[in-house]
Amino acid sequence: MENTFVKASKRIGYTLLGLFLAFVVYANLEPAPMHSYVKPISMTIFKVDGLTNLEQVNSVKEKVSLHSGVTACGANPVSELVSITFDPDQTSEGSLRKLVSNITGKPVQAAVFKTDGPPSPQCPVPQEYIQAFEKVKYALCFR
């Protein structure tokens, strides 16, 4: 009985080791893409009712872009939206919301998107799964 257990454990161990080594080889077949060397970003989009003045829109873009951790800021007077890409290690959605509110002097809400057109097709595999797989792959890439 004990002998069978040891044999089974060894087989499972060798199989897992083999799979791991195969994955390491797969991860090293080609170098990691350049985007894996760029710091990842986060994004937030705010709806600012009354942000229809082009001068104010440009002022928001300029001031928000100067904030530490912000990599880009877009704003549009038609949609009244302010979109910000940022480094989550340096700033947060909460502090950016306060910042936009202070600059505009208007209430800032979460953006809600409505459209009448046909919906776009979506990838059946959640992006989080694909990115988690890629992260492990690039972590094991030594090229």
Chain positions contacting another protein, by CB under 8 A: 30, 33-35, 37-38, 40-45, 71-76, 78-79, 81-85, 93, 110-122, 126-128, 130-131
Write down the least CB distance from residue 109 to another protein, Å: 11
Write down the least CB distance from residue 131 to another protein, Å: 6
Write down the least CB distance from residue 25 to another protein, Å: 18
Q: State how far Cα 26 lies from the chain centre.
A: 25
Q: What are the φ and ψ backbone dihedral angles of 97, each rounded to 5 degrees?
A: -60, -45
CA 102 to CA 59: how far, in whole Å? 12
Q: Which residue, 4 or 39, is less far from another protein as judged by CB?
A: 39
Burial of residue 45, with CB atoms counted within 10 A of its CB: 0-12 exposed, 13-18 middle, 19 or more buried: middle
Q: Which residue, 5 or 37, is less far from another protein as judged by CB?
A: 37
Write down the least CB distance from residue 132 to another protein, Å: 9
CA 52 to CA 97: how far, in whole Å? 18
